[in-house]
Amino acid sequence: MKKYTNTGSKDTRSGFGAGMTELGQKNENVVALCADLIGSLKFDDFKKNHPERFFQIGIAEANMIGIAAGLTIGGKIPFTGTFANFSTGRVYDQIRQSVAYSEKNVKICASHAGLTLGEDGATHQILEDIGLMKMLPGMTVINTCDYNQTKAATLALADHHGPAYLRFGRPVVPNFTSTDAPFVIGKAIILNEGTDVTIIATGHLVWEALLAAEALEAKGISAEVINIHTIKPLDDEAILKSVAKTGCVVTAEEHNFLGGLGESVSRVLAVNNPKPQEFVAVNDSFGESGTPEQLMEKYKLNNKAIIEAAERVIKRK
């Protein structure tokens, strides 16, 4: 199996912050908006270097989305930043009408997504945001897996015209993608080629998928691992090509199985080539307080869960 090395664990949100720092220097049309979470979103450098292009909105997310939409009228490229819960569920109608339906070039950037927010508990642990955002016509939905990929995605979004949702998180996780890996929106990345099962993972579950593939290999099972960073538009072709070879699939995501990556993959398979699928995802529940590791264990979102799902789905072939 192809080897991936953790070059030093970091949080994905810091990748976003580094991307914003670089964009600040490279693209004078990029502006940043924040709803009282500068430190959490790693906006400190951007704010310091470009105070005139940084908008502190206060705790008023609906107003932030509207202002971002307005800033596009005048040619600005706004990146809004707050927690994933306040970036989506709280402001769904503002995003729907003022951004998506109005076709505004707003980048909604969301940290602290999913269970790995940890101890703050379910009020802050949104597990529905991918579903909310992918249902909006014209919205690009991206969930990155590590620091480098999050930075690359942030840079790529500035060159992409149209509304987009960028999802990342708080915990320190392995950084294993290469710094010079091209980030192509909508293009899946085959991390490991295999023949017995396809594991399709997004976000923090990608590293877990690699660990699972390694363990499966030791058991004589050859797993193909696909990193889907763009959930919408989904790379149907890469998925179909892989599943045609392996005949079954496990999807893995830090999200409710309802509305997540898994359902998007199911649709592609149902329409084109129905095959057995197992879901590593939250089973339609809210989260709770705990450490990220405890929560990922309790809610079955780790490499162990992926291994079990792979063994189950292979038996269903």
Partner 1 sequence: MSNTQHLQDFTTQTRRDILRMVHAVNSGHPGGSLGCAEFLTVLYQQLLQRNPGFSMDGIGEDIFFLSNGHISPIFYSVLARSGYFPVSELATFRKLNSRLQGHPTTHDGLPGVRMAAGSLGQGLSVAIGAAQAKKLNHDAHLVYVLTGDGELQEGQNWEAIMYASAKKVDNLIATIDFNGQQIDGATNDVLNMGNLKTKFEAFDWDVLEIKEGNNIEAIIKGMEEAKSRTGKGKPVCVLLHTVMGNGVDFMMHTHAWHGKAPNDDQLAVGLAQNLETLGDY
| Interface with partner 1 in residues 236-295 (CB under 8 A) | none
Q: Are 202 and 252 in contact (CB under 8 A)?
A: yes
Q: Is residue 63 within the footprint of partner 1 (CB under 8 A)? A: yes
Residue whose structure tokens are 């892989």: 242
Instruction: Decide if 61 is catalytic.
Output: yes
Name the residue nearer to partner 1 (CB basis): 39 or 51. 51
Residue 177: how many CA atoms within 13 Å on its side-chain side? 27
Residue 86: CB minimum distance to partner 1, A: 13
Contacts of 228 (CB under 8 A, 6+ apart): 188, 200, 201, 202, 234, 235, 239, 261
Taking the complex as a whole, how short is the minimal distance between the CB of residue 148 and partner 1, in angstroms? 31
Catalytic residue selected from 22, 28, 52, 61: 61
Specify the stretch interacting with partner 1 by CB under 8 A; choose among 8-16, 66-74, 243-251, 300-308.
Answer: 66-74
Q: Does 305 bind partner 1 (CB under 8 A)?
A: no
User: Nearest Cα to 313, choosing from 267, 259, 266, 258?
Assistant: 266
Distance CA 241, CA 225 (A): 13
Q: With CB under 8 A as the contact rule, which of the stretches 100-108, 156-164, 226-234, 279-287 interacts with partner 1?
A: 100-108
Pull the structure tokens for residue 170: 């708080």
In the range 33-62, which residues lie near partner 1 by CB under 8 A?
52-53, 55, 57-58, 60, 62
How large is the angle between the packed helices 205-218 and 303-315, nearest 10 degrees? 60
Q: Which amino acid is at 216?
A: L
Among 26, 39, 51, 93, binds partner 1 (CB under 8 A): 93
Alpha helices in 219-282 (DSSP H): 236-246, 261-272
Q: Does 102 bind partner 1 (CB under 8 A)?
A: yes
Residue 74 CB: number of other CB atoms within 10 A? Answer: 8
Please report whether residue 73 would count as binding partner 1 according to CB under 8 A.
yes
Q: Does 217 bind partner 1 (CB under 8 A)?
A: no
Asked whether position 66 contacts partner 1 by CB under 8 A, the answer is yes
Residues classed as catalytic: 61
* Interface ranges with partner 1 (CB under 8 A): 31, 52-53, 55, 57-58, 60, 62-76, 78, 93-94, 96-98, 101-103
